Structure 1
Amino acid sequence: GLDTLSYANALKNAMREAPDVIVIGEIRDAETMHQAVAYAETGHLCLSTMHAANSYQALERIVNFFPESSHRQLLSDLAMNVRAVVSQRLLVGKDGKRIPAVEVMLNTPYIASLIEKGEFESIRDAIAKNETGGAISFDSALLELYKNGQISEQEALKNADSESNLHVKIRLLEGANYAAGHRETLSMEDDKDEDDNGTVFGA
C-alpha cells in the first residue's frame, strides 16, 4: 500500500505511531494473533475479527493457531488481556429481512479462570448464568428476539447453541404469557361482576 510495505510490516510498526486504539481487520494466522496479544499486553485496546460460531469457539480457534507447547502461556495471556468477545449470527426475521442475534462475553474473574484452564465449553454456561453489565448468551438473545416477535420459533431453535434448552425456555415463556393473560381475563370478569352487583341509590 501507500503507507506500509506489507501487512506484516504494518503490524510490527503500528506501535511507533503511539496509537490509542489498534484495529486489525481479520486475524487469520498465528503471527497476526501474536501481535494482537502483544498490543494488549502493552495496554493498548486492540479490536479485530475472526470467523467463529460463538465466543468460546473463537477462543479455541485462537489457541489452535499455535503449537501445543505454547498453549499454557497463551491461555494465561488471553485470560489476562481479553476484555470481551462479541459474536454475531444473521437470522431471517419474520418480515423476511436479516436481523442479528448477538452474544457478548465479558471477561469476568470466573471466565478468566476458565480461559486460563482451557475450559472453553464451560464459558457458554458461565455467560448464561451471569448476564450482567451487558453480557448475554446466544440463546438468551434468540429468546429475546422470539419474545419480541421478531423471529419465529423455528428460526430461533435452528440457530441455538443448545436447541433443547432454548425449547424449554420458549415453552416456559409461553406458559408464563398464558398465565398472565388468564389472570388478566379473570380480573376483568371480577370488575364486571362488581359493576353488575353495585348498589343503586335513588328515590
Structure 2
Amino acid sequence: MSIEGGGSQATNATVKLRKYMKALVAHGGSDLHIKANSQVRARINGDIVTVSKEKLTKEEALAMAKEILGERFDEFVEKKEIDFLFMFDKDTHFRGNMFFQMEGVSAVFRVIPAKILSLDELKLPKALHKLTTLSRGLVLVTGVTGSGKSTTLAALIDEINRNQKKHIITIEDPIEFVHKDRSCLINQRSIGQDTLSFANALRSALREDPDIILVGEMRDTETIDTALHAAETGHLVFSTLHTLDAKETINRIVSVFPSEEQNRIRMTLASVLEGVLSQRLIKTVDGKRAAALEILFKTSFIEQLILEGRDLEIKDALDEGSQIYGTQSFDTALLNLYKEGRISLEEALGNASSPNDLKLRIEGLGGEIDSKQTAEDKTSDFENDDDIFALKED
C-alpha cells in the first residue's frame, strides 16, 4: 500500500521525517533509521552513521507511526510489523518497514531511485543483456538484504519494456520501482493491496496471458513450485532469493521440499534455470560501493551438474566458461574490480569466498595492477553533521 508523505495537513512528525529524508537523498544515502529513544541514523555507503543529536521519544515515535500509517495503524499494532511504500513526492519513493522493539517503535526507510538505471549505467557486466532476450525459463537475482537485487531486476525489466512487445506481470511486497507502459504492457501488483499472497497472485498470473512474471521473492514452497511450473510451461520468470551464490541458491530451492520430492525439483530446476546473478556490494576506493556479481548462465554442463547434484563443482565451471559464455565466480568478479582499480586489496580479500585462492591469483598478476591498497576514508558528510535540520530549504 502506498502512503502519501505529507501535505497541508502534515504534522510535526511528518515534517521532521521529510527533512531527514530530503537530507538522506542529498547525501546519497540508502536507508534512514528511526528508533524510539535514540538518535536518527542513516546508512551511507554501507556504514550506519548518526545524523542528528536529537532523540525521538517513545511518544513521538508512536505518533509518527499513527500519522504515517493512518488506517493501517491497527494492522501494525496487531501484526507488530508492517511494510509500506512512502510517497515523498511524485519522483521519490521510500520502501518502509515499521516494527515494535523493546523501547517502542522503530522504522527503516529505503530510498527507491526516481530513475530506473540501465544495466550499463549500473556498470554491470555486458553479458547480463542476454537475460533480457530469453523467451522462457527462470532467472534468479540473489544476495543479502541491501545488495541491490531490486535495482538489478528493475534494469532487466526496463530493458525488456523498451525493446520488446510483451505482457509483464510483477508481484511485489511492496512495489518499489514503478514501470510505465512502453513497448510492453506491465501490470504491477502489491501484496496486501492488490493480492493476498505471492502464491495466489502467481497462480492467477498463469491465467492472465503473461509472457514475463516477476515474483518479488520466492518465500515458500508453494510459490517456488508454482514459479518452476510457470517457467516450465513457457513463461519467463524473474525472482529473488536471500542466498550468497549459485550453489547455495540451488541447494536452498531443493531443500525446502520434502525429501521424496527433491529429485523431481532438481530435474525441473536443471531444465528451467537460465541464470543466477548473485550480487554483493563492495566498498570502492572512492568511498562508494560497486556490485560484484557471480554469474551463472545455463549450459549443458551446468544443467548436468545440477541434475546430478554436483553443486560443489559449479564455482569452477563458471570460471571455465567465462570466455565463451560470460559466466564468472564471485571471486573472479572481485579480481576484475581490483584490476580496474575500483576496490582495494583489503576489500577484495575481505569479501572473497576463497581469500587464499584469490590472493594467489592477484599475486600472479605481478605488476599489472596499479591500485590503492586501502580504501580512502570517504564515508559521508553525515559523520560531522550534528543536525541535518541545518540544511537550507531549496
2 CA distance for matches of 1:80 and 1:124?
A: 19
Alignment correspondent of 1:141: 333
Deviation larger for 99-108 or 168-177? 168-177
Match in the other structure for 2:272: 81
Counterpart residue number, 2:293:
102
More helix by share: 1
**Using the alignment, how far apart are the partners of 2:369 and 2:339 within structure 1?**
10
2:52 paired residue number: none
Given the alignment, which residue of 237, 241, 252 partners 1:61? 252
CA distance in 2, matches of 1:106, 1:90: 21
Distance 1:90 1:64 in 2: 27
Q: Do the aligned partners of residues 176 and 3 (structure 1) sit closer, same or farther apart at CA in structure 2, a change above 3 Å counting?
A: closer
Q: TM-score, normalised to structure 1's length?
A: 0.83
- AA in 1 matched with 2:340: N
Inter-partner Cα distance in structure 2 for 1:169 and 1:48: 33
Change in Cα spacing, 1:159 to 1:78, as seen in structure 2 (3 Å) is same
Consecutive unaligned residues in structure 2, runs of 5 or more: 1-191, 371-394
1:176 Cα offset (Å): 5.2
Give ranges in structure 1 of 5+ residues lacking alignment: 179-203
Note if 1:166 corresponds to 2:354: no
- Between the aligned partners of 2:216 and 2:304, the Cα distance in structure 1 is 28
Say yes or no: does 1:41 pair with 2:246: no
- How many matched pairs? 178
Cα distance, 1:87 vs structure 2: 0.7
The residue number in structure 2 matching 1:19 is: 210
| Residue in 2 that maps onto 1:153 | 345
- How far, CA to CA, are the matches of 1:140 and 1:125 in structure 2? 10
Q: Distance in 2 between matches of 1:11 and 1:148?
A: 42
Q: Distance in 2 between matches of 1:96 and 1:25?
A: 30
Among all aligned residue pairs of Structure 1 and Structure 2, give the percentage whose two residues are the same amino acid: 45
In 2, the alpha carbon distance for the partners of 1:7 and 1:157 equals 38
1:137-194 CA-partner distances (Å, limit 9, x unpaired): 111111110001100111111111211111111001125569xxxxxxxxxxxxxxxx
Tell me which moved more, 128-137 or 35-44.
128-137
Runs of 4+ in 1 over 3 A off after TM superposition: 1-7, 175-178
- Structure 1's 29 and 5: CA in aligned 2 closer, same or farther, altered over 3 A? closer
Which residue identity does 1:153 align to in structure 2?
A: L
Give 1 or 2: higher strand fraction.
2
Q: Which moved more, 1:78-87 or 1:129-138?
A: 129-138
Q: Distance in 2 between matches of 1:102 and 1:31?
A: 28
- The whole-number CA distance in structure 1 between the counterparts of 2:262 and 2:193 is 37
1:117-141 per-residue CA deviation (whole Å, 9 max, x = no partner) reads 1111110011011113321211111
Q: Is the 8 A contact 2:254 2:262 kept in 1?
A: yes
Tell me whether 1-10 or 42-51 shows the greater mean CA deviation: 1-10
Larger gyration radius, structure 1 or structure 2: 1
Partner Cα distance (2:290, 2:238) in 1: 23
Q: TM-score, normalised by structure 2?
A: 0.44
Letter in 2 for 1:69: E
Q: Which amino acid aligns with 1:59?
A: I
2:254 and 2:265 in contact (8 A); partners too: yes
Distance between the aligned counterparts of 1:168 and 1:7, measured in 2?
Answer: 45
